[in-house]
Amino acid sequence: MYTHSTMTQTQQEEIQAAFSKASTALAELEATIRKHHNTPVQNIDKTKFLKLNFPRGYIRTRYHFATEYNLNSLIGNGRQKDSIAYSLMQSDLYNYLINRFEFWGVIQKLLLKGAIINLVSAIEGLLMCSLGHLHQHCRVDDKRVCKNQNRCDFYIKSSKHLKIAGAVDILKDKLVMNDLTILADMITLNNIRNNVHLSILERHEFTNDDYSLANYNKAISVLNYLKTNQAISTRVFAQRRIDGCTGLAPPE
């Protein structure tokens, strides 16, 4: 999803000069504003200024992510598809902030916390919504599922109350997505994401390495794995199910 390209010394110096120029201009802008406003308690009336323009084209479109992650084939619910794509768009915004601004200490951790939580939200959406879509094959109606659920190799549980660990088991056992490092990272990252529930924190969230660039990159790697493998594995499973499923059997 995000990669680094090699540069010549001249190219690096050119970019560094542009960084220095932009940093100076941004500092001068804030100093000018602070002559008249006690920021951030007070601030400018943003409707009266032509503000900084965000670089056009950096944040990719909903259509781009829907196509790249095969959302139309994986997920049947339009609202879910849009929400996942918008979370991936938001990841581009975090990517820009992480790679263009220098932050330190707890502020850096706060930025990475937001970035990681957003990425894990997209990962969870890809997993749960696609499994929920597969589950529809096994439903007799809104209230009942096939009576063969406990002995059918092709039965997919409802994602309604499914935990990430259970979703990972389905990926491994049913969809044969068996990169054990990636699957373990999914569970680790979900545990980090659960820090959003501040009332049940069991440890100080900012005195450990949860919100680190390493975990941010783990989340990127998980998304890359899903982008490359999820649609293919799902299609293969669906074809095996067509060949092997004996048909819906209503519970007696």
Residue 195 falls within a domain, yes or no? yes
- Are 33 and 39 in contact by the 8 Å Cβ rule? The answer is yes
**Chain mean pLDDT for the chain:** 93
pTM over 0.75: yes
Q: 143 — phi, psi (to 5°)? A: -115, -15
Residue 170 falls within a domain, yes or no? yes
Tens-place pLDDT, residues 100-122: 999 999 999 999 999 999 999 99
What is the per-residue pLDDT for 88? 98
What is the per-residue pLDDT for 198? 62
- Are 205 and 182 in contact by the 8 Å Cβ rule? The answer is no
Residue 188 falls within a domain, yes or no? yes
- Rg (C-alpha) for the chain, rounded Å, is 23
Band of residue 79 on the pLDDT scale cut at 50, 70, 90: very high
Residue 42 falls within a domain, yes or no? no
Tens-place pLDDT, residues 129-186: 999 999 999 999 989 999 999 889 999 999 988 999 999 999 999 999 999 999 999 9
Work out the average pLDDT over 2-21.
Answer: 90
What is the per-residue pLDDT for 199? 56
Work out the average pLDDT over 12-29.
Answer: 97
CA–CA separation, 180 and 188 (whole Å):
12
What is the per-residue pLDDT for 164? 95
CA–CA separation, 173 and 38 (whole Å):
58
Residue 106's identity, in one-letter code, is V
Residue 103 falls within a domain, yes or no? yes
- DSSP calls for the chain: --------HHHHHHHHHHHHHHHHHHHHHHHHHHTT--TTTS---GGGS--PPPPTTSSPPHHHHHHHTTHHHH---HHHHHHHHHHHHHHHHHHHHHHHS---HHHHHHHHHHHHHHHHHHHHHHHHHHHHHHHGGGBSSSS-B-TTTTT-TT----STT--HHHHHHHHHHTS----HHHHHHHHHHHHHHGGG-GGG-SS-TTSSSSSSHHHHHHHHHHHHHHHHHHHHHHHHHHHHHHHH--------
Range of the domain at 155: 57-244
Spell out the residues 6+ positions from residue 224 whose beta carbon is closer than 8 angstroms to its own. 1
Work out the average pLDDT over 4-23.
Answer: 93
Residue 183 falls within a domain, yes or no? yes
Tens-place pLDDT, residues 188-222: 999 998 876 665 556 666 767 899 999 999 999 99
Residue 26 falls within a domain, yes or no? no
Q: What residues pair up with 139 in beta bridges, in sequence order?
A: 145
Burial 12-27 (b: 16+ CB within 10 A, else e): eeeeeeeeeeeeeeee
Domain count, the chain: 1
Residue 27 falls within a domain, yes or no? no
